[in-house]
Structure 1
Amino acid sequence: MPDRASSYSEDAVIKSPADGREYCPLTLDNGLQVLLIRQPDETKAAAALAVNAGHFDDPEDRQGLAHFLEHLLFLGTEAFPEVNAYSDFLATHGGHHNAWTGTEHSNFFFDVSAEQFSPALARFASQFIAPLFSQQWIERERQSIESEFRLKEKDELRRLYQVHKETSNPNHPFHKFSVGNLLTLRDLPGVSIRQQLLDFFKQHYHAGNMRLVLAGPQPLAELAALAHQHFAQVQPNKGRKEKISAPLYRADQLGVQLHLRPLKRARRLILTFALPAIDDDYRRKTTSFIAHILGYEGPDSLCSWLKAQGWINTLSAGGGISGSNFKDFNINIQLTADGLSHTDDICAAVFAYIRELAAHGIEDWRYREKQQLSTLSFRYQEPVKLVDWAAQLAVNMHHYDVADSIFGDYRMDGLDAAKAQQWLALMTPANARITLVSQQLPTSRCTTLYQAEYHIQPLSNAQLARYQQPPAAFSAKLPKTNPYIDADVSVFEVATEQSLPRLHHQQQELTVWYLQENQFRSPKGHLYVDFKLPSMATDQRLFATARLWCELVMDSLAETCYDAEIAGLHSNIYPHPSGICWHITGLSRRQLALLDQLLAVRNEHLAAPSRWEDLRQTLINNWTTAYKNQPINLLFSELNQQIQPGCFRLSDLAEELQTLSFDEYQQCLTQLWSPLEISAFMHGNWLPEHADQLVQRLQQELPARQADAEQPLMVKQLQRPSQQKQTVRSQHKDAAVILYNQGADSSHQEQAHYLIAQHLLAPQIFQQLRTEQQLGYVVGSHYLSMQRLPGSLMFVQSHDAPIEQVQAAIEQFIQNFGQSLNQLTDIRWKEIQQTLGRQLSVKDANLRSKSQRFWGQISLGEPQFEQQQQLQRIVNQCSRTKWIRWFSERFLQKPAALWLNSYAQL
């Protein structure tokens, strides 16, 4: 590499032994710190730039400015003034981009086909050198920001967040409104917002405030040259920004109790403790160690004891906001109906457990357990998509030493007992904010934004005294040693070079697929076991029963399997339209033993009536309020219900559970499991004898006699040609519209044609309906496959435009798009084929994605595992003129289309 590229060697960044990428940091002459990543087998390249500027930096009279600037950076620069120059270039070459604005950082990232990396970087870098901030787009993007604000106006987390802001120190920047709206972003007398954008950009968007990651298959020297070529003109380092000096809370904002009345039915208790900033503790991760113990869910734990009292459903520890001068440490508890009347008892139990941890739990062996788990996670770290990796590391570079850009997330150098005691000493009632969330609570105030009703008052002397003593019969204990941590992590020798799953066993009711992984060599594996239950697809009462059964099983296993869970052995049980699937992942050596536990539960599980009632009510509440503030998601759900068998409306499922008794539930379970077929897939660190053992276990699950299996239900075919239109009642005032265009058959050719259509439609519908026409913040299109039958889904959710205007805009867009295809040149067509071909040939990023892909094809009945190759071949051979005729027939002349829209019934 050139001498100027870096003052570090290529091994200056600590990486996992499983990581085959090359890393090299460098610093440009302007002070910009860069991390180069080479992944030779990649077909894409990616970049990410994280800026140490967020909504904390907004001027008091211009709240939301950092977020607004993030939007406008994409909309034209001096070098590339066209508003869509950046997004169109990426879409043309198989890429995508995104960004976010946080409290103290903003992050911008994209990926693109590797051979187009340099011209993509030219467009990306120009945003951080000379953005236009065109007045035309300032006016339009104000509407977009307003739409984004309105979209989340009824979001429960936003409302809780706003109460948090309004009850914190007004001298700390956390109190500021982060999103912005038409009011905060309007022009002020004598001060244009454009000038404030320019001032903000000049002040914060300089090289010293930025961290850049460039990643791709190019040699490191070439990546270094690209960094110099495109980013040397970024404003030079202006030095460090001023530190925040004000505390997050005033003294009168601690030792308080808050009430928040949610819009949806919910019961939650959050204990928040104000701690100092934790960035300088990343090498030891003291708060993670404390959270590991307080959030333990195994036998005799705090969580277990509170569940046994019938007061809580879940407990987690360690979350909460953090920043450069503060850290909130949260203990987050989901309450039962009975728990809402025992919140003081719950708080007393939490404080008693904290005191027990401080007195007896700060021990090296406990820290070493957590350290071993972190080391194992790092050693067998699974790679992620290159663009996601770049975006993550760009932020990490702001928080960690350059050598720890990767390892910093896992590093645990040893227990700092003094710091642990120091922080536990701050976890007291006097330093706490205790938040209760329930519709039953009295409130006295309302936030200015989001209209959240709340109340705040100091903890009473009686409460403070009560919290000094544990509740009656309190018996929670600190965790014992975890037997799963010292599990065998060896990797079996490769028994075969086979690269595709093979059918290991097949009989009438049992099919087992097997593949020993030889690409991602690790001690991990994935085990899928699918219980096919045809009755679920036709009987919504049985489907509701199955959903409740899955919740109860996972709840009953949460305690007994918790040690395995935190040691990296995970299980999930979930219903789908034709059955119940169990997915086990993690260290393969322990998975069959965990499967035995799951199978035993299937055959023997009988929930206690009280716990059954708690989870039944929880599901009813969740289903009743699921789409109350999400009209576009309501329409997606309605589409599935109308087209795909085995999909039911959540409101209908809630009604089924409302009338379901415990005795009938038991009867439904017997009916649910017959007839039964089992399909399984074992993939990862396994040998053929393990597949034999799996077969033996599953054979025992098949009943001796079965009812006759029902024929599988097929996707509902829409009439062609037809344009059906239906309206769905919503509890949200936004207009939402979706257009589903259904394919004629499930052939690979039809799938390939819809993929081409989606590749062309997606950027244009966003550009025209969202950016130019400002119809709404949620605008887009998706390729939609239902049981291999392809289709297209276009959607808009608008705060201001009526349904008729949105529908007319979508219809006009399709007409204009169809006409524009006459200008589609042979050169552009070739680019489309090459870009899609590369996307279809992208290799799996990790073992998980590979397993998911194979399992998806097994579930869809594609045992040749050639779907991607077939689609790639068809795309490469597809005639431009024939595809245009196909599009005209499917979308314009003879569409099979279903329009769904929502109207507000408030």
Structure 2
Amino acid sequence: MNAVDSEHSKNLQSDHWRSFQLYKSLASENHPFHKFGSGNLKTLKEDPESKGVDTREALLDFHGKYYSSNVMRLCVLGTQPVEELRDMVEGLFNDVKDKGIDPPAFPGTPYPPSSLGRRLSVVPVREKRELELTFPLREVQTLYRKKPLKYISHLLGHEGVGSVLAFLRERGWANELSAGESRGCNDWSAFSVSIELTDDGLAEVDNVASVVFAYLNMLRAEGPQRWIHDEESTVADTHFRFLSKREPMDYVCSLAGAMQLYPSAHSVSGPYKMWEYDPAVITECLEYMRPDNVIMGVSAKMYEGKTSLKEEWYGVEYNAEDVAPALLKKWEDVTVDDPNLKIEDKAKLSFPEKNDMIATDFDLRSHPPSFPLDEPRLLDDISTLRLWYKPDNIFSMPKINVMAVLKSSLAYDSPENAVLALLYVDILREHTTSFSYLATMAGLHCSFVNARKGLELHVSGYNHKCDKLVQRIVDAMLELPAKLDDEVFARIKDKTMKQYQNFMVGAVPYQHAFYGADLILEEGKWSVPDKMGALDGLSAQDVREWSGRFLRRFKLEMLIHGNASPAEAKRIADTVLDGLKPSAPFQAHFPQRHTYIHSFDEYNPSDPNSCLENIYQIGRVSLRDNAKLAFLNHLLQEPAFNELRTQEQLGYIVHCSIKTSGDDVKGLLILIMSDSYHPSYLDDRVEAFLDRFRSKLVRQSVDEFNSNVDAVVTNFFEKNKNLGEESSKYWSGINDEKYVFRKYKLIGEEVQSLTREDVLRFYDRYVAQGGRGRSKLSVRVVSKAHKEKMESDGEGKGKDDNEEESATTTIIGEDDVVNFQRSMPLHSLPDGVDVEGMRMKSDDDDDADDAVEGKNSTP
């Protein structure tokens, strides 16, 4: 019960959980959807005790009634023969009784008429402005062969020319939009349109809703379009045909859930394929999406102090009122030809254009016979380009991954340039939406990331139209400065400022702890206040000038992996270089036997949770020490969770992992987020746990130790499940500029030879109190409640964080971070790597050109 209460406490400041419970509260009190969904000590302990109810007995009664084999579905995945797997299942589950029960049914939607045609004005935790239109409707699970809501969500959620989002962006009313099924049950479902508003959009929120209803009215008036369904069906068939392998745990969970929804024959294909076109069911579902059947939710800080209602479980402050009849009538009648819904004919609402990015060529490329297939090889290495290439010789999929970074110090050498890079990427992402969204719908995805080394571009999916997408991206980068107008810049600048503000106030304490640690560990990392200050004075012209400087001088490093020949890989790289025509351009280390404490107040005073993050820094390590760290982390995870969370109940979130900062500097990380205890006390408990852990490690039997070695080795030797997973490992080796592509296998080989004495010596040096190599950073995020308790009674389960500095302890104040960074010695940069030995032989290029002509058909 304490664990459930702690989890609920974690979610109290989450707008997602708060909104979900608010919408539940509007349901009929007689419907189970109305109930409190999480539970806390009041509902699980205090209220039952006051009524003489034993919660545990009630839980056992519930289990006894509903734990029945006829309503259970089981999926088992293994390498053993099916007969052996079947015997295992029968041995483990044979005692589960078939009680012949029927799951409870609650026909109809949970919302009474009095909850529909209503407007909610909600005060959020985060600085956000959002409109959500929710329509309860019939169940659609039985319509899985037709998927009417997929058709509707495709059109309402479209981002290309003629879409609702394109229109709203043109008016300066919205930044983002999503649409789709938001609730799916046996008896009912719900469809929601969520829109991230601008300040102008919030002021015009009724007109924003008018745009959505105008589009819905157009869909009803024009009727379902067969060609749109056929496009969706074609893409769905292709996606299912070339599904990539998933993590086994995720896959079996997904299949077990699908078995509850689909007949056995369609348990695998049911979530993907669209077998039938049925305009009647599309029309039926559209009929639910009318103004008198909507729940309109508007979330904004502007409602703070102006509300009269409060939700019971999360304390959400809101108002609820009927939408004015005149406004309902306006929404009922509005059309896409309404004079108020036109902008010089630039963004008229319409059906999307036909998708020219759908792949039709799925032939597999032959790789050069002489090409070494174990890791990427250099195709080109000049002053402006380093091109890595590896054909897919494992998965036999018509897919490609293109990973590129445009390296330049202009991406992060000052807070101003870091923000300009972020703005440029966000503006570019929006500018490319007209074609990138079509590509995404067709299974070819692109993304832009502003990184410390430069700007990253990733393209992944079916290879057929990859070169076409890359060419369009390059064209968009070239034309962006001329097409960037002040209104678009102002909207994205405002959005960026809101994101910074939301991180300071809306992120949870453990995220603030990670952030605080990164500021200490990574030399030259700019703080959020630094970036907010830089952002404030920037203009659209600054972005135009920055993009010109950036694109004139950078080095392109690129990996092309998958269904492409060397010649095709070179053409993709040349598309970028020939288009952009660049010229060539050009972390913290802690002393040992020392503890650093960085304590600061939680930015959100309403969040009851504090957080402790301890990092035991190891440094830039060899493969051997990497193996020791990975093995130690594996040994710690289960006992850390069991002792600190389950037994001591210190907090709902207990996390142990390997921390990587800067240029591959490693450390061991232990984190606890708690609504019950001050971080100082949590630190005491972590150190006590680590002391106990060493004793257990000493007593561990040889068989136990070897079993753990096998588990870790299996993880490192695990085969890549899909092309993306393999590409990510190669890109990691390129991005850290070490170019060790078999790192995971090499670390696994080192783990195989570890002894208990190796691990104990490593632990005693870097983790144990008094260890000669121990360098500890303790980041402590203190909630307002815990700080006040500490100040009021001097107790609060722990010593004050205002400890005196000593020869072995340094206190880093919140205002001392930059000076501390500058005073710290740095780890040496990674050694340079001679990549010439990784170059492909020149005659392979000739073989490769010939291989383009030799194609094998996909089975």
- TM-score for the superposition, normalised by structure 1: 0.81
Hey, what does 2:699 align to over in structure 1?
823
Deviations 1:536-594 (A, max 9, x none): 34312111111111110001111232222211111000011211100001111211221
In structure 2, what is the equivalent of residue 128 of structure 1?
none
TM-fit CA distance, 1:879: 2.4
The answer to whether 1:615 aligns with 2:492 is: yes
Shift of 1:674: 6.3
C-alpha contact (below 8 Å) 1:751/1:789 kept by paired residues? no
Helix, strand or coil for the counterpart of 2:713?
helix
Whichever residue aligns with residue 681 of structure 1, its letter is L
1:898 matches 2:763: no
Deviation at 1:820, TM superposition (A): 2.6
Change (3 A) 1:904 1:228: closer
Alignment equivalent of 1:737, drawn from 606, 612, 622? 612
1:346 has 2:208 as partner: yes
Give the aligned partner of residue 634 of structure 1.
512
The residue number in structure 2 matching 1:452 is 316
Partners of 2:725 and 2:748 lie apart in 1 by: 19
> CA 1:240/1:905 → structure 2, altered by over 3 Å: closer, same or farther?
closer
- Residue 359 (structure 1) aligned with residue 221 (structure 2): yes
Q: Is the 8 A contact 2:108 2:138 kept in 1?
A: no
Alignment of 1:102-141 (within 5 A): none
Change (3 A) 1:485 1:593: closer
SS at match of 2:73: strand
8 Å Cα contact 2:309-2:319 kept in structure 1: yes
Corresponding residue of 2:254 = 392
| Aligned position for 1:87 | none
Structural mapping, 1:318-717, within 5 Å: 318-441=180-303, 442-467=306-331, 468-470=333-335, 471-474=338-341, 475-485=348-358, 487-496=360-369, 498-606=373-481, 607-628=484-505, 629-645=507-523, 647-673=525-551, 675-700=553-578, 705-706=583-584, 709=586, 715-717=587-589
Give me the whole-angstrom Cα distance separating, in 1, the residues matched to 2:251 and 2:334. 47
Shift in Å, 1:529: 1.1
After superposition, what is the alpha-carbon deviation per residue over 1:456-492, rounded to whole angstroms, capped at 9, x for unaligned?
A: 1111122012212244243311123222235423322
Q: Provide closer, same or farther for how the CA distance between residues 671 and 834 of structure 1 changes in structure 2, counting only shifts above 3 A.
A: same
Identify the range of structure 1 (276-285 vs 502-511) with the bigger mean alpha-carbon deviation. Answer: 502-511
Quote the offset at 1:251 in angstroms: 0.8
Contact 2:359 2:462 (C-alpha < 8 Å) held by counterparts:
no
Deviation per residue, 1:709-730 (Å, 9 max, x gap): 2xxxxx2111112111111221
Structure 2 residue 678 is the aligned partner of structure 1 residue 802? yes
Q: Does the residue aligned with 1:212 lie in a helix, a strand or coil?
A: coil
Other structure's SS at 1:485 match:
coil
Superposition deviation, residue 310 in structure 1 = 1.3
1:292-322 residue CA offsets vs partner (Å, 9 max, x unmatched): 1222221122222222111111222213112
Amino acid paired to 2:37: S
Aligned to 2:688: 812
Alignment partner, residue 80 of structure 1: none
* Equivalence for 2:800: none
- 1:869 corresponds in structure 2 to 745
Q: How far 1:795 sits from its partner (Å)?
A: 0.4
Match of 2:629 among 754, 766, 789: 754
Q: C-alpha deviations, 1:179-222, integer Å up to 9, x for none?
A: 11001111424321111011011011111121111111000010
Q: Helix, strand or coil: the match of 1:830? A: helix
Q: Which aligned pairs between 1:814-893 and structure 2 lie closer than 5 A?
A: 814-892=690-768, 893=771
SS in 2 for 1:614: helix
CA distance in 2, matches of 1:869, 1:523: 27
- Greater helix fraction, Structure 1 or Structure 2: 2
1:134 matched to which residue of 2?
none
Distance across 2 between alignment mates of 1:373 and 1:632: 40
272-281 vs 779-788, which deviates more? Answer: 779-788
**Matched position secondary structure for 2:74:** strand
Aligned to 2:816: none
**2:404–2:458 contact (8 Å) kept in structure 1:** yes
| Greater mean deviation of Cα atoms: 584-593 or 385-394 | 584-593
Counterpart of 1:163 in structure 2 is: 22
Indicate how the Cα distance of structure 1 residues 720 and 675 shifts in structure 2: closer, same or farther if over 3 A, else same.
farther
**Which amino acid in structure 1 is aligned with residue 594 of structure 2?**
S
1:528–1:581 Cα contact (<8 Å) kept: yes
State the one-letter code of the partner of 1:393.
Answer: L
Measure how far apart 1:387 and its partner are: 1.1
Match of 2:845 in 1: none
Give TM-score, length-normalised by structure 2.
0.86
Alpha-carbon contact 1:301-1:478 (below 8 Å) kept: yes
Deviation at residue 763 of structure 1 after TM alignment: 0.8
1:594-639 per-residue CA deviation (whole Å, 9 max, x = no partner) reads: 1122222333312211111111111111111115341111110121
String of CA shifts for 1:626-679, please: whole Å, max 9, x gaps. 153411111101212221245332333222212223333333334445652210
Deviating more after overlay: 280-289 vs 291-300: 291-300
Name 1:235's counterpart in structure 2: 97
CA distance in 1, matches of 2:626, 2:196: 44
Distance (Å, rounded) in 2 between the aligned partners of 1:684 and 1:775? 47
Which range moved further: 727-736 or 412-421? 727-736
Residues 745 and 350 (structure 1), Cα distance of their counterparts in 2 relative to 1, 3 Å cut: closer
Q: Is the 8 A contact 1:361 1:478 kept in 2?
A: no
Separation (CA, whole Å) in 1 of partners of 2:445 and 2:240: 17
| Alpha-carbon distance change, 706 to 369 in structure 1, aligned in 2, over 3 angstroms | closer
Structure 1 counterpart of 2:5: 146
For residues 695 and 407 of structure 1, the distance between their equivalents in structure 2, rounded to whole angstroms, comes to: 37
The residue identity in structure 1 corresponding to 2:334 is Q
Unpaired stretches in structure 1, ≥5 consecutive residues: 1-141, 710-714
Cα deviation digits, residues 731-784 of structure 1 (max 9, x gap)? 233221010111143211111111011011111111111000000001121012
> What is the correspondence of 1:49-60 to structure 2 with a 5 Å cutoff?
none
Q: Does structure 1 retain, via aligned residues, the 8 Å contact 2:478–2:580?
A: no
Partner Cα separation in structure 1 for residue 17 and residue 648 of structure 2: 27
Alpha-carbon distance in 2 for matches of 1:748, 1:486: 42
CA contact (8 A) 1:740 1:898 kept: yes
Matched position secondary structure for 2:374: coil
Distance 1:473 1:641 in 2: 49
Q: Does 2:70 correspond to 1:197?
A: no
Once residues 608 and 92 of structure 2 are traced to their aligned partners in structure 1, the CA distance between those partners, rounded to angstroms, is: 46
Q: What do the CA deviations read for 1:59-114 (whole angstroms, capped 9, x no partner)?
A: xxxxxxxxxxxxxxxxxxxxxxxxxxxxxxxxxxxxxxxxxxxxxxxxxxxxxxxx
DSSP-derived class of the 1:900 partner: strand
Inter-partner Cα distance in structure 2 for 1:246 and 1:293? 26
Of 33, 41, 45, which residue of structure 2 is paired with 1:174? 33
2:834 corresponds in structure 1 to none
Residues 172 and 247, structure 1, Cα contact 8 Å, conserved in 2:
no
Aligned residue pairs total 759
CA distance in 1, matches of 2:544, 2:551: 12
On the 8 A contact 1:171/1:246 being kept in 2, the answer is no
Which residue is 2:807 aligned to? none
SS in 2 for 1:639: helix
Calculate percent identity across the aligned residue pairs: 24
Q: 1:861 to 1:812 in 2, by over 3 A?
A: same
Give the structure 2 partner of residue 726 of structure 1: 598
* 1-structure distance, mates of 2:745, 2:359: 42
* Structure 1 pair 398–196 and aligned structure 2 pair: CA distance change class (3 A): same
What one-letter code is carried by the residue in structure 2 that aligns with 1:492?
Answer: R
CA distance in 2, matches of 1:483, 1:811: 60
Distance in 1 between the 2:750 and 2:364 partners? 39
Any gaps of 5 or more consecutive residues in structure 2?
A: 342-347, 786-859
Q: Secondary structure at the match of 1:313?
A: strand
